[in-house]
Chain A
Amino acid sequence: MPKAQLKRATPVMQAYQAFASAREPARPMARNLAIAFVAGGLVCVIGQAVSDFFVHVCGFSRKDAGNPTVAVLIALTCLLTGLGVFDKIAQFTGAGTAIPVTGFANAMASAALESKTEGWVLGVGANMFKLAGAVIVWGVVAAFFIGLLHTLVAPGR
Chain B
Amino acid sequence: MIRRGPRPVNVRLRRLLVMLPWLMERQTVSTQAMAEHFGMSVADLVADLTLASMCGVSQDPRDLIDLWVDDDEVHFGIPKYFERPLRLTVPEAFSLIASATAAQQLPGMDQSGSLSKAIAKVSQAIDLNIDDSFVVELETPESVETLSAAIRNSVVIEFDYWSVATGQSARRRVAPLEVFLDQDHWYLRAQDVTAQAERTFRLDRLEQLVLTTENHGFVATPRSDWFAQSDEQRKVLLQVDAAWLWVLEQYPDVSIGTVLKGQVVQHADWVTVEVVANTERWMQRLLVRLGAHAVVVDPSDWRQLGSETAQLILRRYERING
- The yes or no verdict on A and B being binding partners is no
